[in-house]
Chains A and B, each alone.
Chain A
Amino acid sequence: MEKNNTIKFLILICLLIVACLLSLFFGGSERINLSELSSNNFIFWHIRFPKTITAIIAGCTLSVSGLILQIIFRNPLAGPFVLGISSGASLMVAISILAGSALHLFSVFFIGKAFIVLSAITGSLLITFLILGISKKVNSNVVLLLIGLMLSQICGAVQTALEYFSDANSLKSFVIWGMGSLANTTNFDLLIYLPIALISLLALLFFVKPLNALLLGENYAQNVGINFKSSRFYLILISSVLTGLTTAFCGPIAFIGTAVPILSRMVFKSSKQHLHVTSCLLIGSIILLLSDAIANSAISNISLPINMITTFIGAPLVIYLMFKNKTW
């Protein structure tokens, strides 16, 4: 068992390296040859490199966030996108872009970014607690997902309404951003993005035991000495920061948070969550890197939206699981 898992992890690490190279060298309209790679290759260092790193961070944060949500709601189909949490973050970003341009916040770069990140995190926190409240009233996993989708529609509708009141500049910036993209993050953005992501993921280390205990449900978790109320609060906080952060930089990215933990449980037939956290980091990065490479090289000279690719991967998985009606 243990040996098998080591082999699986080694394979995943190899795949990650391959996916990184694919994204770095084929992830754009122009292919880069190794011979052209010097320290002043602008495309490589200022476009490809931040995009690849963004793909890795986004893959890690969204999949781990999805894993946490699936366990908290004990719903194997949950995820930040299907529960409307990404949309909540988007809505708050839309509001903050509008308010920000009115208040001229964006003239100072750092404050503008920090403001957007904070509002995205606030948006995802609000929706997560709303969903948590609703989940106590409904017993069915599928009904909860439907409610999540409705919340996401509502957030979308409010966002559309806001777009009518915005000036051309901010309209353009959040329509493009709303389609989801890994390419809008600059090297300078990474200085904010990467540290917050790392700190949140490290904070999760302290909650791996509660994560394992919560699999048994609230009552048994408490009976084996886990304070499920406080650990659930911190887990939701971590998950919301992860989702909000990535939504702030990349826009709402579909299905990664749902699909990756499901894949992880298919690959590793274990219930140990430290193992799944690690494998979600790897599988999430691999899938988003590959999606990026596919999006940029499937049709020459056209870069497809990343959400199209991730939906093609994630949605069938969810349908498949519903058909099997098996709780992974």
Chain B
Amino acid sequence: MDKKECIVLKDAALGYKKPNAAISILKNINLAFYPGDFVGVVGLNGVGKSTLLKSLCGLLPVLEGNILIDQQPINDLLLNELAKKIAIVLTEKIGGFNLTAYDAVAAGQMPYTNSFNRLKKENLAIIDLAIKTCGITQHQHKLLNELSDGLFQKTIIAKALAQQTPIMLLDEPSAFLDYASKHDLFILLKKLAEEENKCILVSSHDLDLLLKYCSKLLLISQNSFELISISEAKNNKTFIEIGGGFI
């Protein structure tokens, strides 16, 4: 393969820092992801999927080893540079203070605006496109805390799109979506990976969806990491174990 890695983990230990101790949840991780990868992150509850995704965008510290984003150590990158490289969709709920769906998506353009957050014509066009792509045009002026869970999820995904990053991390984005929207989402993500060459990591418990749309799977179990191509999945022991024999 000729492509350069966009994410590299070198002997990384990830977890939380408490005032007097570091609690590492994942240890000795050595992985590499490339532009155009559409990776499903699979593992049982509590195995550290969210920890991995949060660490990859700097929300959690690297306890040991290193994470390289575009060949640069993540800790050397300015927050604003990192914001232009990686967008994340988390499971947490936000809202209140008159925040509308539009405002949340517009926040995706913050890394590109001046210190008064003035939105220029090109910023507005990108925001509108992200809103249209995620199909929330009719709901854009509703308050965030009045949106249904599914629409809220789509709004935050639109925010990540508006951030225009080569890397997107999504933590259980399909959890609240209806059946059709789940497929729409995965089709959209697949398209972004294939046509815009984005590297997309998505954690999910919808194994059938991952099998159908992803190009690779990252299997996380008690401290082992396996990055496999999708064609190997059906014969992989860990994958079958995670599926509980139902897949």
- Residues on A close to B: CB < 8 A? 70-71, 74, 76, 206, 208-209, 212-213, 215-217, 219-220, 222-227, 265, 268-271, 274, 327-328
Contact = CB atoms under 8 A, between A and B. Distances in A.
B59 interface: yes
B179 interface: no
Given A224-B83, A226-B79, A206 B96 contact: no
B103 A271 contact: yes
A167 B156 CA distance: 61
B110 A226 contact: yes
B92 A225 contact: no
Contact of B84 (A213, A225, A269): A225
Contact of A208 (B90, B98, B116): B116
A76 B96 CA distance: 8
A209 B107 contact: no
B246 interface: no
B57 A223 contact: yes
B94 A220 contact: yes
A1 B205 CA distance: 43
16 contacts: A70-B97, A74-B96, A208-B116, A208-B117, A213-B107, A213-B110, A216-B107, A220-B94, A222-B79, A224-B108, A225-B81, A225-B83, A268-B98, A327-B97, A327-B145, A328-B98
By size class, the interface of chain B is 35 or more
B238 to A, nearest CB: 29
A202 to B, nearest CB: 14
B6 to A, nearest CB: 17
A222 B58 contact: yes
B90 A220 contact: yes
Nearest to B114: A209
A271 B57 contact: no
B5 to A, nearest CB: 21
B94 A327 contact: no
B51 interface: no
A327 B92 contact: no
A219 B116 CA distance: 21
Interface string B41-61: 000000000000010011100
Given A265-B98, A269-B98, A271-B97, A222 B59 contact: yes
B107 A220 contact: yes
Contacts of B59: 219, 222-223
B110 A209 contact: yes
A213 B97 CA distance: 12
Contacts of A71: 97
Contacts of A206: 115
Given A206-B115, A219-B90, A225 B110 contact: yes
Nearest to A205: B116
B115 A219 contact: no
B175 to A, nearest CB: 17
B100 A223 contact: no
Contact of B97 (A219, A222, A227, A328): A328
Given A219-B90, A219-B92, A226-B79, A270 B111 contact: no
Contacts of B79: 222, 225-227
